[in-house]
Amino acid sequence: MPLGDIMEKENPIEEKKTPTTKFAEWLMARAEKKEAKETSLESLMKFNVFLSIATLVTVAGATVADYVLMAWLWI
């Protein structure tokens, strides 16, 4: 018996996809895409928070440095 005949008998389900199987595969693919998109949005939100805090620290640090310099010059 040739090897091709054995492979055909072992995988008959993979060859015939029912509408239910196709729908299930589509749902799984859609869920994976949605999950990847949420992960991307989550990382963008974290970066936005980091950037906002860094900006606030920079502005606050520059303001504090200005006040310290003014106080030093007045002494």
- For the chain, give every domain's residue range: 3-74
- Residue 1's pLDDT is 47
pTM of the predicted structure, to 2 decimals? 0.45
What does the pLDDT profile of the chain (75 residues) look like in tens digits? 455 555 555 555 556 788 888 888 898 998 888 877 777 788 888 899 999 999 998 988 888 888 888 888 887
Supply 25's token pair: 């595969």
Q: Report the C-alpha gap between 9 and 32 in whole angstroms.
A: 31
CA dihedral 68, 70, 71, 72 (to 10 degrees): 80
Per-residue confidence (pLDDT) for residue 55, from 0 to 100? 93
* pLDDT of the residue at 2: 53
